[in-house]
Homo-oligomer: A and B are copies of this chain.
Amino acid sequence: MSEQITALLQRAQAAKPLLAALDEGQRNRLLEAMAAALLLHKDTIIAANEKDLVNARGRISEVMLDRLRLDESRIAGMAQGLLDVVALKSPLGMVESEVKRPNGLVIRKVRVPVGVIAIIYESRPNVTSDAAALCLKSGNVCVLRGGSDAILSNTAIAEALRAGLVAADGPADAVLLVEDTTHAGAGQLMEARGLVDLLIPRGGPGLIRAVVDGARGVPVIETGTGICHIYVDAEADLDMAASILYNAKTSRPSVCNAAEVCLVHAGVAERFLPMAAGVLAPQVELRLDERAKRIIDGTPAGPDDFDTEYNDFILAVGVVDSTPAAIEHINTHSTGHSDAIITANAATAAAFTAAVDSAAVYVNASTRFTDGGEFGLGCEMGISTQKIGARGPMGLYELTSYKYVVQGNGQVR
């Protein structure tokens, strides 16, 4: 590990007890000071962002340039985001269980910060303040490693947040930015055993895969890869199914909870597929398996079409013979993010929700609801698709751990 990263992570570790010692009121005052500092330093941030935009122009798409762009209104939005987190209840200190053992020991399970959370993310600079806010509220030090396109913006934002912390007599090192935006910089975070308590990648499948595969002895929570399915059962309300499918595919195709695959029970395929084509075409390109192709027009599905996160106006469509066949297809091809059944039969729905091994399993609703805000968590660091640590939307609770506090009066074993 480079001396620079080691030194940064040692500062992060040193800030851990300072941050853990704060109470909720103190953490909230720090968040307010960070929000005020973003507004105070907005000209510096916008100037830095303009340099990033100049450097990036021609190298990244217009869509990506727009994601990178900051203006007064977006900075005001980031500041408001910090204030929104103030209003959330932190789980820190919550006693999850308390038992008195026969020997008189009282064992309490208490929520505590994880410690140092490192976040590796891509271009959008607002992640810098969002992630810092969620980490601070949950008592964690954050180490932020954004993409190279946004490095000047991220540096200016992090400096503003740190200035806010200092202004409110808080630990500036609660928010740290890694200046090395090379792969080597990210790689060092992935190997920082004992210095990084949790590593969260936020971004596209390539980034996530690189972090999950590259981590060495550092716990990772994998987020945000979504090949989500809508299964239309033989007993579905077909109008509802068409409405849900349309929403899940088209309302925001670039996000991880958008549907990528529709499976239709053979018993209703002849009726439903023309309805689906009617609502989706021509906006959505349909990639059809052989049986669907016999019923409606579209592109024949290739070998990868049922294993692709399009993040685009493309939908793979297949016909299955039964709910068990749909379940088996989903458990084989889903990324374990969000999958839905549309059915009026409660027993079929129960079999589906029991057997489908995904973070969120829906009955008669769009997969688009898998989101911290929509689930009532008030915020979100990402959507975990793994089963260890956190699963589904990660709010403040999912950014904490627990310890056992054991009170005795001399017990020995």
Q: How far is the CB of A208 from chain B (nearest CB, A)?
A: 10
List residues 173-204 of chain A with CB under 8 A from any CB of chain B: 193, 197-198
A21 interfacial contact with B, CB 8 Å:
yes
A154 interfacial contact with B, CB 8 Å:
no
A193/B213 contact (C-beta < 8 A), A105-B369, A412-B366 known? yes
List residues 363-377 of chain A with CB under 8 A from any CB of chain B: 363-366, 368-370, 374-376
**Segment from A34-42, A59-67, A159-167, A388-396 that makes contact with B:** A388-396
A107 interfacial contact with B, CB 8 Å:
yes
A219 interfacial contact with B, CB 8 Å:
yes
Assess the B406–A360 pair: CB atoms within 8 A.
Answer: yes
A237 interfacial contact with B, CB 8 Å:
yes
**Segment from A1-9, A122-130, A349-357 that makes contact with B:** A349-357
Assess the B408–A363 pair: CB atoms within 8 A.
Answer: yes
Contacts of A331 in B (CB 8 A): 17
A198 contacts which of B112, B115, B387, B406 (Cβ < 8 Å)? B387
Assess the B217–A212 pair: CB atoms within 8 A.
Answer: yes
Assess the B412–A388 pair: CB atoms within 8 A.
Answer: no
A376 contacts which of B107, B197, B388 (Cβ < 8 Å)? B107
Contacts of A107 in B (CB 8 A): 375-376
Give the docked Cα–Cα distance between A349 and B355 (Å): 47
Q: How far is the CB of A232 from chain B (nearest CB, A)?
A: 13
Assess the B355–A21 pair: CB atoms within 8 A.
Answer: yes
Contacts of A360 in B (CB 8 A): 403-406
A221 interfacial contact with B, CB 8 Å:
yes
Assess the B389–A354 pair: CB atoms within 8 A.
Answer: no
Assess the A114–B413 pair: CB atoms within 8 A.
Answer: no
Contacts of A403 in B (CB 8 A): 357-361, 391-392
A407 interfacial contact with B, CB 8 Å:
yes
A329 interfacial contact with B, CB 8 Å:
no
Assess the A376–B101 pair: CB atoms within 8 A.
Answer: yes
Give the docked Cα–Cα distance between A359 and B107 (Å): 12
**Segment from A243-251, A286-294, A308-316 that makes contact with B:** A243-251
A197/B251 contact (C-beta < 8 A), A403-B360, A409-B364 known? no
Assess the A406–B365 pair: CB atoms within 8 A.
Answer: yes
Assess the B244–A404 pair: CB atoms within 8 A.
Answer: no
A94 interfacial contact with B, CB 8 Å:
no
Closest residue to A237 on the B side, CB-wise?
B410
> Which 3 residue pairs spanning A and B have beta carbons closest together?
A365-B408, A247-B412, A387-B401
A→B interface (CB under 8 Å): 16-17, 20-21, 99, 101, 105, 107, 112, 114-115, 193, 197-198, 212-213, 215-217, 219-221, 237, 240, 243-244, 246-248, 251, 327, 331, 349, 353-355, 357-366, 368-370, 374-376, 386-389, 391-392, 401-413
Q: List 8 A-B contacts (CB under 8 A).
A: A193-B212, A198-B387, A198-B388, A219-B387, A237-B410, A244-B410, A244-B412, A391-B404
In addition to A197-B387, A349-B407, 20 A-B residue pairs with Cβ atoms within 8 Å of each other are A20-B354, A101-B375, A115-B357, A115-B387, A213-B216, A219-B220, A219-B386, A219-B387, A219-B389, A244-B410, A248-B412, A353-B405, A359-B403, A360-B404, A360-B405, A362-B408, A363-B406, A364-B410, A365-B406, A392-B404
